[in-house]
Amino acid sequence: MIDSFISSDLAVAPNPLGLVSSLKLLTIPVDSQTFFELWAPIADAPLLAEEAMLLRGDRPRLEEICEKLTWLFGATSSDQETVCSQEPDYDWLHLMGQLEQSGAHFDALTIDCLPQAILPNASLDGITTAWTVRPLSWQIHFWKLEPVGRGYKPVQLPTGLSITHGQPITRQLKAEMVVTRSV
């Protein structure tokens, strides 16, 4: 019997043999009782060879987690500014094939969790006219590790994937609900 969607052997990030200076250990929630760990590069910090090996070696474990999340919720491709595909794809291997066909080769991946949020939508004059509920999502970032000097430079690819639990909902305020305050 499976006790958790992400098993404990998948949830725990590998423990590096030495101290890591250019990586940070992140804990990513799946639900209120399920989490997993991963190592992520610190912005603009070059990686030691051992750190690059750690990221490369952890890729299969993280892909297995992403495969499970994709199977359950579906994933859409995106670049750093827009969503590229609107219909979710539930097949991780198909998504990886599309990534490979596009010429995007990666050495490592990281995952960010964006919690559900309620965000205001303002009109041109700055007055809130609607509210949007952004659902929980996981953003998958792909990294190329480029050799530099005695280490590696992590370079984030412009293409990524988004796994979202549900669709955003926007509710417009009624005219009488829009209140302006003068100071």
Under the banding of pLDDT at 50, 70 and 90, the label for residue 181 is very low
In 3D, which of 87, 91, 98, 97 has the Cα closest to residue 71? Answer: 91
Q: What is the pLDDT of residues 106-131, one digit of tens each?
A: 999 999 999 999 999 887 787 888 99
CB 173 within 8 A of CB 129: yes
CB 143 within 8 A of CB 108: yes
Burial 158-172 (b: 16+ CB within 10 A, else e): ebbbbbbeeeeeeee
**What is the rounded CA–CA span in Å between residue 26 and residue 111?**
9
Q: What is the pLDDT of residues 30-82, one digit of tens each?
A: 988 999 999 999 988 999 999 999 999 999 999 999 999 999 999 998 875 55
Give 46's DSSP letter: P
pLDDT at 172 over 60: yes
